[in-house]
Amino acid sequence: MRVLATGGAGYIGSHVVAALLEAGHEATVVDNFSNSSPLAVASIAELCGHRPQCVELDLLDVDALEALLQGGDFDGVIHLAGLKAVGESVAQPLRYYEANLCGSLNLCRAMQRVGLRRLVFSSSATVYGEPQSVPVTEDAPTGATNPYGWSKYMVEQLLRDIATADAGWHTALLRYFNPVGAHPSGRLGEETRGEAANLMPRLAQVATGRLPNATIYGDDYPTPDGTGIRDYIHVWDLAIAHVRALEVLAGDTALSAGVHTWNLGTGRGYSVREVIAAFEQACSRSLPQQVLPRRPGDIAAIYADPSRAERDLGWRAKRDLVQMAQDHWRWQQGHPAGYEDG
């Protein structure tokens, strides 16, 4: 299939584009490079032996977006472009709703106008807020706790509503848990500018000396070791799930029509201390640790029930926490400051 990947130069996006090419599909990257590097596309080309077309474009530029879709003869869109830092979204809600909600609305309107209605959307487990029970199924109550999560939820609702109005839409809502790691080759990874916010990228910065300590935000949670539990999923497993979801939408089964929601997680939760231990094993050094108060807005524990994706997509996450840490560390070692210095 000919696939348009919005945000295709980003951390998740670059892995999705590589997985598309590896599966024999054609991919066009659209990115505004606000949180990514054009060098990621060159790395994809090196890795896959085939350079995807790349168009620098912001989804807020409706005319350029429509012109691209008009002339692109695409079979589907994987929509990953968006802002994703929870803390930043609390400080800058307008920026987040404009990028995530308005960007998605422009994309859907442009797709509708050219008659393209097959879409895989990058959603997030953040739409569940604090779960009432774990593991979390796709039918669990939703209720975000920050503008980032609400923006993802609103786009999901937008997509459900347009599919109700027009049965021609084939849509997959992929709710990511915690993506970590990097392609095993060490050629693709997260472009972390400045101090990282998420746990594993921060541990990588401690291991390279860019941060003094591994900071544990709260060890008084109601969990076995007192630290927060999350469902970490290897970004390459996550990328492969996107290809499978698009192929299912393009198929001719009951899953090919309407809107389908799939949790993308491993079904296994790991605590902060377990992640630190796995990373120490991966980088063969002990990381100095510091316990700090809980981070505002953090929840104690969430992990996925991934059985629906396993059943419907014929997909399951294969890589374990140590492999996630090893692959993350390999990328960090080769690219301490992202693609610029690789």
Q: Which residues are catalytic?
A: 148
Check binding of 208 to ligand WQD (CB under 6 A). Answer: no
Q: What are phi and psi of 172, to 5 degrees?
A: -120, 130
The answer to whether the CB of 17 falls within 8 A of the CB of 27 is yes
Which window, 22-30, 35-43, 209-217, 233-241, contacts ligand WQD (CB under 6 A)? Answer: 209-217
Check binding of 202 to ligand WQD (CB under 6 A). Answer: yes
Contacts of 140 (CB under 8 A, 6+ apart): 128, 131, 132, 133
Q: Of the candidates 6, 14, 100, 124, which one interacts with ligand WQD according to CB under 6 A? A: 124
Check binding of 215 to ligand WQD (CB under 6 A). Answer: yes
Check binding of 171 to ligand WQD (CB under 6 A). Answer: no
The answer to whether the CB of 99 falls within 8 A of the CB of 82 is yes
Q: Which two tokens stand for residue 305?
A: 């029930």
Residue closer to ligand WQD (CB basis): 216 or 282? 216
Check binding of 84 to ligand WQD (CB under 6 A). Answer: yes
Check binding of 92 to ligand WQD (CB under 6 A). Answer: no
The answer to whether the CB of 47 falls within 8 A of the CB of 17 is no
Q: Of the candidates 104, 142, 145, 178, which one interacts with ligand WQD according to CB under 6 A? A: 178
Q: How buried is 312 (Cβ within 10 angstroms: 0-12 exposed, 13-18 middle, 19+ buried)? A: middle
Which window, 3-11, 36-44, 181-189, 195-203, contacts ligand WQD (CB under 6 A)? Answer: 195-203
Check binding of 198 to ligand WQD (CB under 6 A). Answer: yes
Q: CA-to-CA distance for 141 and 129, rounded, in angstroms?
A: 9
Residue closer to ligand WQD (CB basis): 119 or 180? 180
Shortest Cβ contact with ligand WQD: which residue? 228
Query: Tell me, what amino acid is at 118?
Result: R
Check binding of 230 to ligand WQD (CB under 6 A). Answer: yes
Q: Which two tokens stand for residue 144?
A: 């975000």
Q: CA-to-CA distance for 294 and 304, rounded, in angstroms?
A: 23
Check binding of 50 to ligand WQD (CB under 6 A). Answer: no
**Angle ∠(146,148,153) on CA atoms, nearest 5:** 95
Binding flags for ligand WQD, 260-279, as an x/- string (CB under 6 A): ------------x-------
Q: How buried is 73 (Cβ within 10 angstroms: 0-12 exposed, 13-18 middle, 19+ buried)? A: exposed
Residues lying near ligand WQD in the complex (CB under 6 A): 84, 86, 124, 126, 176, 178, 197-199, 202, 215-217, 228, 230, 272, 295, 298
